[in-house]
A = this chain, B = another copy of it.
Amino acid sequence: MEKQPDDLGKTDVTPTYENLYSDRSRTMKASEIRELLKLTQRPEIISFAGGLPNPDAFPVEPIKEIVQDLLKSDSKRILQYGSTQGVPELREEISKRLKNRWNMDGDPDNVLITVGSQQGLELLGRLFLDPTSTIVMEAPTYLGALNAFAVYEPRVSSIPLDDHGLDVDKLEEYLVNLQKHSVNLKFIYVVPTFHNPAGVCMAESRRHKLMDLSHEYDFLIVEDDPYGELRYTGEPLPTLKSLDKEDRVIYLGTFSKTLVPGFRIAWSFGPKPIINKMEIAKQAMDLCTPPFTQHIAKEYLRRGYIDEHLKTIISIYGNKQRIMLKAMDEYMPKEHIRWTKPEGGMFLWATLSDGMDSTEMFTDAIAENVAYVTGKSFFADDAGQNCMRINFTHPGDEKIVEGVKRLAPVIEKWGDKVRKMKDDTGSEVIQGV
């Protein structure tokens, strides 16, 4: 049967979307880590890859109680649209807690409620970054921050970390150089406490020095603190925001690790003019964060459940951290790998011998049913190939030991292989680390 004229060229003419995309989205690709993480979801895999809280530690009973009470007493409000800045009583509870617990001065108008801290990062990118802007990030740094800022195409300078956090002397050298070239630094992004992925804390003296540098070179500080409440050993450190006499710090906090991630409730706490601009930007983005889950978080603070619950999490996670460190010590081939010994948070950061590549090794690890996140995901450039991030909060206690036992021989095999290659070529002799 011949085609009717009406059909000619009419059906199955899918537009070529590629011609229509914006410049910024043309290069957008699914991140490699997402593809890797898909592999880690098989049930037989012991995954040290995710950054997930342990669901056994979710405060289900308090949530049940709160939701029932709220649906009885305040349903018309908690189920309706809310203000862009966030539920006022939640902002008040947060500012009170930040004051009482962390000595951070502010009131509810210093607080913007966001859909996860990720949205705080997105908003800061939007507010501050042009394609010519310069920012500093730690190396390694939080992968989600890299992604959030990348949309706005800044120049990212990386300053290395060591076991005591950001190397502030290297930062100072960099700032001197920047000033010579009359370049304006917009902000530095840091995770000073229980770093993701490195697990380390910025030493107190370095915190003071960073504040001094921010004054001297006139830049802002984005302090991302999702893990600050999760300390298992050692003494608390002051947040940068608590040392901030000049209103230069925007502090990002979240309920994802102290209540549950599934509510997506986080906050930005900063200078009012900035919070106000973030609010305006957020309005065009999603109107408001879900009032329903904001009200639950508010009651969770009001009823004082958070401190009780933190004790539980800290006990569970602290135990897992000890199990992990002990298993690493017992089973890992120390001539090929060293790792950080964090006092809190959710991650160890492991560094393999020079020449080893955690991405190459990944397929072998998956074959042994164990997973981690490859190190290079956490760098703005292509560094970190010989590193890996290891989570210890999500797997069950026995799984931690079993996972380390599975991973150790993979590392040994690749380490020996790389050493042999080096010996053969004679170019370099591994010293061990």
Contact = CB atoms under 8 A, between A and B. Distances in A.
Interface of A: 10-15, 17, 19-25, 28-31, 34, 52-53, 55-56, 58, 60, 63-64, 67-68, 71, 75-82, 114-116, 118-119, 122, 126-130, 133, 144, 147-148, 150-152, 184, 186-187, 215, 218-220, 245-248, 256, 260-264, 271, 273-274, 276-277, 280-281, 283-293
Nearest to A78: B262
Contact of A148 (B76, B80, B129, B284): B284
A403 to B, nearest CB: 20
A11 B245 contact: yes
Contacts of A186: 20
A246 B15 CA distance: 7
Contacts of A22: 126-130, 133, 152
A293 B294 CA distance: 12
A134 to B, nearest CB: 11
A420 B302 CA distance: 60
Contacts of A271: 14, 17
A60 B52 contact: no
Nearest to A247: B14
A215 B285 contact: no
B287 A23 contact: no
B118 A15 contact: no
A273 B17 contact: yes
A277 B21 contact: yes
Contacts of A245: 10-12
Contacts of A75: 55, 58, 60, 63
Contact of A246 (B14, B218, B285): B14
Given A29-B280, A148-B284, A283-B147, A63 B71 contact: yes
Contacts of A133: 22
26 contacts: A10-B245, A15-B246, A15-B248, A17-B271, A17-B273, A19-B184, A20-B187, A21-B127, A22-B127, A22-B128, A22-B152, A55-B76, A60-B71, A60-B79, A63-B79, A79-B262, A80-B261, A115-B286, A115-B289, A144-B284, A150-B284, A263-B292, A264-B289, A285-B285, A292-B293, A293-B293
A150 B81 CA distance: 23
B286 A20 contact: no
B71 A67 contact: yes
A283 B121 CA distance: 12
- 10 closest Cβ pairs, A-B complex: A55-B76, A79-B260, A79-B262, A147-B284, A115-B286, A264-B290, A262-B292, A81-B261, A262-B291, A119-B286
A298 to B, nearest CB: 13
Contacts of A52: 80-81
